[in-house]
Homo-oligomer: A and B are copies of this chain.
Amino acid sequence: MPASVVRSAGNARLRWVRDLHASRKARQEAGVFLLEGSRLAHEALHADVTARLVLRTPELDAPSQSAAAAFARSGVEVMTVLPQLLSAVSDAQTAPGLLIVADRPRPPLPSSVRLALVADRLADPGNFGSLMRTCLAAGVDALFCTPGTVDPYNPKVVRGAMGAHFHLPLATLDQGPDSPALAGLNLWLMETGAGLAYHQIDWRGPVALVLGSEAHGLDPAWRRLAAGSVHIPMHPASESLNATVAAAVVLFEIAHQRGSP
Indicate if the CB atoms of A237 and B136 lie closer than 8 Å. Answer: yes
| Across-interface contacts of A244 in B (CB, < 8 A) | 242, 245
| Across-interface contacts of A52 in B (CB, < 8 A) | none
A248 in the interface (beta carbon within 8 A): yes
For A126, A252, A260, the residue with the greatest tally of chain B CB atoms inside 10 Å of its CB is A252
A239 in the interface (beta carbon within 8 A): yes
Chain A contact-residue range equals 20 to 34
A194 in the interface (beta carbon within 8 A): no
A186 in the interface (beta carbon within 8 A): no
Identity of the chain B residue whose Cβ is nearest the Cβ of A130 in the assembled complex: B242
Identity of the chain B residue whose Cβ is nearest the Cβ of A256 in the assembled complex: B199
| Across-interface contacts of A234 in B (CB, < 8 A) | 137-138, 261
Indicate if the CB atoms of A245 and B130 lie closer than 8 Å. Answer: yes
Identity of the chain B residue whose Cβ is nearest the Cβ of A166 in the assembled complex: B237
Indicate if the CB atoms of B261 and A233 lie closer than 8 Å. Answer: yes
Indicate if the CB atoms of A235 and B199 lie closer than 8 Å. Answer: no
- Shortest beta-carbon distance from A238 to chain B in Å: 4
Considering the complex, which residues of chain A in the window 135-180 have a beta carbon less than 8 Å from any beta carbon of chain B?
Answer: 136-139, 162-164, 166-167
Give the distance in Å from the alpha carbon of A167 to the alpha carbon of B167 in the complex: 40
Indicate if the CB atoms of A235 and B139 lie closer than 8 Å. Answer: yes
Give the distance in Å from the alpha carbon of A199 to the alpha carbon of B244 in the complex: 20
Indicate if the CB atoms of A235 and B162 lie closer than 8 Å. Answer: no
Identity of the chain B residue whose Cβ is nearest the Cβ of A47 in the assembled complex: B237
Give the distance in Å from the alpha carbon of A82 to the alpha carbon of B101 in the complex: 42
A134 in the interface (beta carbon within 8 A): yes
A232 in the interface (beta carbon within 8 A): yes
Identify which of B126, B137, B233 contacts A241 (C-beta below 8 A): B137
A72 in the interface (beta carbon within 8 A): no
- Shortest beta-carbon distance from A197 to chain B in Å: 9
Considering the complex, which residues of chain A in the window 193-234 have a beta carbon less than 8 Å from any beta carbon of chain B?
Answer: 199, 232-234
Identity of the chain B residue whose Cβ is nearest the Cβ of A197 in the assembled complex: B256
A249 in the interface (beta carbon within 8 A): yes
Identify which of B138, B163, B199, B260 contacts A239 (C-beta below 8 A): B163
Indicate if the CB atoms of B238 and A252 lie closer than 8 Å. Answer: no
- Shortest beta-carbon distance from A138 to chain B in Å: 7
Contact with B along A111-137 (1 / 0, CB 8 A): 000000000000000100010011011
Q: What would be 16 A-B contacts, judged by CB atoms less than 8 Å apart?
A: A130-B245, A133-B238, A133-B242, A134-B241, A137-B238, A137-B240, A139-B235, A162-B239, A164-B238, A166-B237, A167-B235, A167-B238, A199-B256, A242-B244, A245-B248, A248-B249
